[in-house]
Structure 1
């Protein structure tokens, strides 16, 4: 963007290329309030009348989105490219596309409701990111927010340390008017040690908060010399000790990432001092808490069922990606009844597809770039502001690492802290731009004239989305039916049938038949633990299995029956497939016993229930699909029009800068200083 140098940025100026929010309501105050709600209110509290949509922090962040939108409507839009907001728009579009897919799939009613919740979650994370991105008015206010984050992190860790040493949660006794208690917060245990959670629902969620606050607290402690040493260093000490004592691999790995990123950016004296302090702290933990060192080493060397479960998830993820590779099945719809992935990246690719995963990775990469790309503008006169670039980089990298160890976006504190930090990366870039090139008066900025060129891309995008919408809304329904084939003992059993001596052998016969059936059917799908087959998104196929009451963690079969599920394009097809598979099940049960030379009168019989299954039609929810398509169209058309604006501005700039004799316009008028942002 070409701008004319003007007066220095004021307190109400957010940064280069955009108008700031007026100071009538300071965004730093808003984010401070958000952090108090996010970290001080136990994560399992909800506004009861709103159910799952009643998380206080998410509601407050959604209000932030409305506030941000209102301010943007009133302000003049700058032309400078905002990479973090562009990446957020891409992520938003991918999530809305996945919502449209979920509305067109044959999902159970509970999952449709969760998909609606996913859109509300999107509004919350977008709200807090955008307020953080556009609302920080000056380096002074940015510093105020960083100090508050450090203090909040120290208090958060202090509660966790109290839980570790006492074994009490404390938060379960808190009563907050208007909020219901979910009863989900409890301190866990590993190798005899308490796994503190502070106000989070899980120790892994607490780990995300700790490692994302740690680099900010370290930077404030080292460089912010205007405050007392205790105020600066206590949060660092509390966070580091709780990270080590948390008996959580993720917290330890995240702490290592933070130290690895920041260590080489510190002055030499600070590096020596910090190395000595960390070494002393580790010795103190080893000597003061017997067994902790061995437990920590064992977490990284011994076989852990949670690690095995994570690696076993890859085949399941690949199968779901094959069903809907580009846009997934809808944010939040991959419930534990299908599989527990414990990996946010895998969960993202299942729920929002390859496009959604690329959008998330792009947002992370852009945030990291924004944090360090222009940090040198503060050197050498403002060492603290320059150091915050590396702090934000370390925070995003550490948080991104932990996303690989659990489904972080399902937990309010982890999700909120992650997107708040990404928004602060964008705010930091804005402040760097303002420092490098003071933002001129709005009247001094030449805006490109509206012309038909800028609308060509928007009209083309609208036409594409109209055609896509028509195609999506014409998605045909899916038909589903299920039958249970029960294995029944004969009416007059005797010792001639060895399978009757032990009830477990009847179940064994069912297992033998199930294995033979699946060997004959290469397309028999096994993509869920408890959910129905149609919920996987498969439109034509079947699943033959013995119900597993143990689920993902431990296989357990307690009933001798085989469940046959079929989905297809028509009731006739579904009914025919069910009949064929049920008859084949009975044939295999009979032939297996004949091979054992068991008399027919003593055979274990099979019985189908219901005897005449009825196929149910499960169609798309057109109202949800239409709403999702409308929102997606607005974003796509706006992005295309914005691209047309930038293209037109670039062409206008080149015409202005190039004089008739090849010289730039600046050469003709030395009073004008133009800077490319």
Structure 2
């Protein structure tokens, strides 16, 4: 049992419980595995997120289940996001759509509702900071597990995802999850692509570092979290992804700015030691990663990403505001856009780009606002970490079609929901402290000395029955 800020005892079965189940099913079950016997290709994580959204919707009609009520930046942004994409879906279906594109639009709309439902269930259903920690620690542990799978893929060329197929699941697509770059294996672990795995690792790594520092400061076992951070960091390197390095650099810079001086020095020493370890373990890996940026202007992957701008501009001009329909632009029928902002512009128009950016900005704002309102140093540190983690998908969306990859998209919406929950908790905590401060002030008065210049506080005993009335 957990006590929330109102003093009531809350059950441990809340939004965090469903979110942890979602996290492990999303990250550990390979992304190519979907449930058998369904008309749509849905993963177990998709089903759990739909259940979470349904539970949130049902709980909003009650006042006894402890679900938070009222408007927040995250709730507002998610509402606008859903309305905009429903308008896009409706406009696309109003006219003629080929059957293949119509089916993909239906599938895309289901996934949108699933992700938004998960975020709302976390934003309104996670009722204490302990439950937030429970959820995020689950994300860290799942991140470490898939990093181990990636290590087997990279170091010994053993793909463990082949052994994770359950009887109720089937592979939605053929092919493995191991690629190659400069004679080194690029691995995706259980995700759909090495870029996705790299950006996902960049989002999860700061959480492991946060809990490592927190456990050490509180005198709790910290080695487990440092081991998770090491594994996740190694997995990020094994993806050999420019997007991953760019994302972790920006995320690290943000949390570095908010850390105290001593922790900054410790972090720099740890990073140098980690890079030295990677140089010894995998000769040539650091040189390959350096080459991704040194040869940026002549890299074929960069040139491929930029040559399709004219195609995208032509398509966007046909449906400027609401696009041609979510999920209707797909390979190999159409040109691949390795840029989520361009893809969103084609599928959902200028409004679609705006609402996509808006949901991430709402999460970042909510986390930073929670940091401002909180007085607990570790709550402030966690809020800064969440804000930094949400910058990674904003950056990654410019380098690959992020929403086409279920794992990194699901964790992004999960963190948006966590940011909303942190702001709710911080706001309630600040309001409670303000009430306590007002009551304390009302119990004291100032007595002036006979000289008229000296004053000192005097406790004013409350009237009989006053405390009971309060």
Q: Deviations over 1:270-321 (max 9, x none)?
A: 1111101111221222243222222112211322222112111211111111
Q: State the partner residue of 1:344.
A: 340
1:387-536 counterparts in 2 under 5 A? 387-438=381-432
Alpha-carbon shift at residue 145 of structure 1 (Å): 1.8
C-alpha separation in 2, matches of 1:332 and 1:185? 24
User: Aligned pair in 2 of structure 1 residues 144, 323: CA closer, same or farther (>3 Å)?
Assistant: same
Match of 1:266 among 255, 259, 264: 259
Q: What is the TM-score when the length of structure 1 is the normalising length?
A: 0.60
Pick the structure with more helix per residue: 2
Identify if the C-alpha distance between structure 1 residues 71 and 23 changes in structure 2 by more than 3 Å, giving closer, same or farther. farther
Q: 1:250 Cα deviation (Å)? A: 1.0
Q: Distance in 2 between matches of 1:53 and 1:290?
A: 41
Does the aligned pair in 2 maintain the 1:188–1:194 contact within 8 Å? yes
**1:439 and 1:31 mapped to 2: Cα distance?**
30
3-state SS of the aligned residue for 1:437? Answer: helix
1:297-353 alpha-carbon deviations (Å, 9 max, x no partner): 221132222211211121111111110011011111111111100111111111111
What's the offset of the Cα at 1:78? 7.5
Aligned length: 425
* 1:169-568 paired onto structure 2 within 5 Å: 169-182=159-172, 183-225=174-216, 226=218, 227-302=220-295, 303-336=298-331, 337-379=333-375, 382-438=376-432
Q: For the residues of structure 1 that align with 2:409 and 2:345, how far apart are their CA atoms?
A: 17
- Picking from 18, 22, 27, the partner of 1:30 is 18
Match of 2:134 in 1: 144
1:439 Cα deviation from its structure 2 partner? 11
Distance 1:223 1:122 in 2: 35
CA distance in 2 between partners of 1:410 and 1:371 (Å):
26
Deviation at residue 201 of structure 1 after TM alignment? 1.4
Runs of 4+ in 1 over 6 A off after TM superposition: 76-79
The higher radius of gyration belongs to 1
C-alpha change, 1:248 and 1:24, in structure 2 (3 Å) is closer
Q: What is the CA–CA distance in structure 1 between the aligned matches of 2:192 and 2:46, rounded to whole Å?
A: 15
Assess if the C-alpha contact under 8 Å between 1:184 and 1:201 holds in 2: no
- 1:50 paired residue number: 38
Q: Give the whole-Å Cα distance in 1 for the aligned partners of 2:126 and 2:69.
A: 19
Q: Which residue of 1 aligns with 2:62?
A: 74
Q: Counterparts of 1:14-163 in structure 2 under 5 Å?
A: 23=11, 25-75=13-63, 80-163=70-153
- Aligned equivalents of 1:11, 1:163: Cα separation in 2: 48
The answer (yes or no) to whether the contact 2:357–2:394 under 8 Å persists in 1 is: no
* CA root-mean-square deviation: 2.2
Unaligned runs of 5+ in 1: 1-6, 13-21, 441-670, 672-677
Deviation of 1:267 after TM superposition, in Å, equals 2.1
CA spacing shift, 1:374–1:46, aligned 2, 3 Å:
closer
Contact kept in structure 2, 1:11 and 1:137, CA below 8 Å = no
CA distance in 1 between partners of 2:12 and 2:277 (Å) = 49
Closer, same or farther: CA 78–410 of 1 in aligned 2, 3 Å: closer
Change (3 A) 1:88 1:304: same
Q: How big is each residue's C-alpha offset from its partner over 1:182-212, in whole Å with a ceiling of 9 and x where there is no partner?
A: 3344211111111121111111121232111
Unaligned runs of 5+ in 2: 435-465
Match of 2:449 in 1: none
- SS, match of residue 180 in structure 2: strand
| Preserved CA contact (<8 Å) 1:168 1:187 | no
Q: CA deviation at 1:363?
A: 1.2
For residue 146 of structure 1, report the CA deviation from its aligned partner: 2.1
Structure 1 position 80, deviation (Å): 4.3
Confirm or deny: 8 A CA contact 2:147 2:231 kept in the other structure: yes
Deviations 1:221-278 (A, max 9, x none): 1123353122120111111122223211111111101210111222222111110111
